[in-house]
């Protein structure tokens, strides 16, 4: 068995893959060659710490790469530190891989030059015509490989209710009419722009995770649920608002973001149920929340207050002479002082 080479099986959704990248620099200090086997190998493109970046169905995977190599399965959700001590996902990964965890460990993703250029030309200059934009995501938990499974997803405690998301967008558009709202989702998920009054919301759908790297890097800010976008934001240190209910920001959040939750909505906040990794069934069915996931009914006014702190007052397109004159009188200025 080679002592200078290791293979790691990375499981779960895109967000877990992105969080896992935080461990790679320290893992590379221990091993000359790192082989990753994962469901989303595109996350690791451009990462020089990875020797081979392979999918689960790569031909001759065992014979060519794994036969003489130590293999680690990195399922952090089942570790005691993650479950009971509320360790962060990156810390749990570090323990599994036997690398030293520090709080400054953050995800690393790499945008290729052609991806950056295409994004700027097609999206910034083309689609939104160089306007500022925010990103909104209100549902998650379904792989873009299987968008038809939206109706069968098991965990809904991360989703933000449609009617509240609609109200937030209406409030935002009224206050910031010159900032575009970009919604991220699957083609099978609820589209805010299906509402006539929200027709201006731009819906980005069914793209690979890499397509959203520059979207988050260049956005003004964002309002998202616990999802892969939060992990991307950590890679670029882009500050935004993350809404929390059934899952815990201590496990999955980042301190640079505004992590919003409301303990008045549920007495069992961050319950992480149903815990499908540990067979969270009751008689004859999967556990269901009898409060209809009230933990995620965060008032739109709360979100608006936080986003106003982040991006400030709206910019005016043209000066208003009447408003400026009133302001001048209040602060003791006259036109001759200006």
What sign does the dihedral 173-265-240-120 (CA atoms) show? Answer: negative
Residue 319: predicted pLDDT: 52
The answer as to whether 214 is a domain residue is yes
Q: Are residues 277 and 172 in the same domain?
A: yes
With cut-offs at 50, 70 and 90, classify the pLDDT of residue 151: confident
Q: Side-chain half-sphere of 321: how many Cα atoms within 13 Å?
A: 1
**Does the pTM of the predicted model rise above 0.85?**
yes
pLDDT above 80: residue 50: yes
Could you tell me if 84 and 250 are in contact, meaning their C-beta atoms sit under 8 angstroms apart? no
Question: Is there a contact between 215 and 204 (Cβ–Cβ < 8 Å)?
Answer: yes
pLDDT value at position 258?
A: 98
pLDDT at res. 270:
96
Q: Which two tokens stand for residue 116?
A: 């950056």
69 in any annotated domain: yes
The Cα 206–Cα 176 span in angstroms is 27
**What percent of the chain stands above pLDDT 70?**
92
pLDDT of residue 328: 57
Domain boundary among 97, 123, 156: 97
What's the token pair of residue 209?
């995770």
Residues contacting residue 286 through CB under 8 Å, at least 6 positions apart:
154, 274, 276, 280
Is residue 32 located within the same domain as residue 151?
A: no
What is the separation of C-alpha 127 from the centre of its chain, rounded to a whole number of angstroms? Answer: 22
Q: Provide the domain limits for residue 51.
A: 5-97
Domain count of the chain?
2
Q: Is residue 317 part of a domain?
A: no
The whole-number pLDDT of residue 66 equals 96
pLDDT tens sequence across 244-291: 999 999 999 999 999 999 999 999 999 999 998 899 999 888 999 999
The per-residue pLDDT for 333 is 47
Is the same domain home to 229 and 131?
A: yes
CATH number at residue 266: 3.40.50.2000
pLDDT band (50, 70, 90) for residue 144: confident
- pLDDT, tens digit (0-9, with 9 covering 90-100), for 34-46: 999 999 999 999 9
Containing H/E element for 70?
strand 70-73
In a domain, 327, yes or no: no
What confidence score (pLDDT) does residue 141 get? Answer: 83
Same domain, 203 and 122: yes
Give the N- to C-terminal CA distance of the chain in Å, as an integer: 77
- Which residue's structure tokens are 């709080």? 103
Residues 168 and 41 placed together within one structural domain of the fold: no
Give the pLDDT confidence score for residue 40 in this predicted structure: 96
- Domain assignment present for residue 136? The answer is yes
User: Quick one: 144 and 253 in the same domain?
Assistant: yes
Contact call for residues 215 and 226 (beta carbons, < 8 A): no
319 lies in some domain:
no
Query: Is residue 31 domain-shared with residue 87, that is, in the same domain?
Result: yes
Q: Answer with the one of 67, 97, 127 that is the final residue of a domain.
A: 97
Q: Do 74 and 216 reside in the same domain of the chain? A: no
- Residue count of the chain: 338
Q: What is d(CA 158, CA 148) in angstroms, rounded to the nearest whole number?
A: 19
The Cβ-side half-sphere exposure at 16, using a 13 Å CA radius, reads: 16
Q: Encode pLDDT of 209-220 as tens digits.
A: 999 999 999 999
Is the pLDDT higher at 134 or at 140? 134
Look at residue 325 and tell me if it is in a domain: no
Radius of gyration of the chain, Cα coordinates, nearest whole angstrom: 23
Whether residue 27 is found in the same domain as residue 137: no
328 C-beta neighbours (distance < 10 Å), count? 14
- 124 and 90 housed in the same domain: no
Model confidence pLDDT, tens digit, residues 278-332: 999 998 889 999 999 999 999 999 999 999 999 998 977 545 544 555 455 455 5
Looking at the structure, tell me whether residues 269 and 160 fall in a common domain: yes
294 and 157 both lie in a single domain: yes
pLDDT average, residue stretch 63-86:
95
Give the residue from 46, 64, 97 where a domain finishes.
97
Residue 122 lies in a domain: yes
Q: Exposed (0-12), middle (13-18) or buried (19+): which is 21, by Cβ within 10 Å? A: buried
């Amino acid at each position: 068995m080679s002592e200078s080479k290791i293979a790691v099986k990375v499981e779960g959704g895109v967000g877990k893959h992105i969080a896992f990248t935080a461990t790679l620099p320290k893992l590379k200090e221990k091993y000359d060659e790192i082989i990753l086997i994962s469901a989303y190998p595109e996350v690791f493109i451009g990462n020089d710490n990875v020797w081979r970046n392979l999918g689960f169905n790569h031909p001759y995977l065992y014979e060519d790469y794994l036969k003489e190599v130590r293999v680690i399965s990195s399922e952090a959700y089942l570790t005691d530190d993650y479950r009971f001590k509320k360790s962060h996902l990156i810390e749990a990964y570090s323990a599994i891989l036997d690398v030293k965890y520090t709080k400054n460990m953050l995800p690393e993703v790499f945008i290729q030059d052609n991806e950056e250029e295409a994004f700027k030309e097609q999206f910034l200059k083309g689609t939104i015509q160089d306007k500022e934009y925010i990103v909104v995501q209100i549902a998650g938990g379904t792989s873009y490989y299987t968008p038809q499974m939206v109706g069968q997803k098991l965990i809904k405690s991360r989703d933000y209710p449609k009617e509240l998301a609609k109200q937030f967008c209406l409030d935002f558009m009224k206050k910031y009419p010159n900032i575009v709202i970009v919604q991220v989702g699957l083609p099978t998920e609820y589209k805010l722009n299906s509402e006539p009054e929200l027709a201006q919301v731009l819906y980005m759908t069914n793209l690979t995770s890499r397509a959203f790297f520059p979207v988050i890097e260049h956005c003004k800010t964002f309002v998202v649920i616990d999802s892969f976008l939060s992990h991307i934001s950590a890679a670029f240190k882009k500050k935004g608002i993350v809404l929390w209910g059934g899952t815990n920001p201590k496990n999955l959040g980042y301190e640079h973001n505004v992590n919003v939750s409301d303990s008045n909505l549920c007495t069992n906040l961050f319950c992480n149920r149903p815990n499908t990794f540990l067979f969270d069934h009751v008689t004859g069915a999967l556990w269901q929340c009898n409060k209809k996931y009230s933990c995620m009914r965060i008032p739109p006014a709360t979100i608006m207050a936080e986003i106003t702190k982040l991006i400030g007052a709206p910019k005016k397109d043209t000066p208003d002479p009447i408003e400026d004159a009133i302001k001048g009188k209040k602060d003791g200025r006259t036109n001759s002082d200006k």
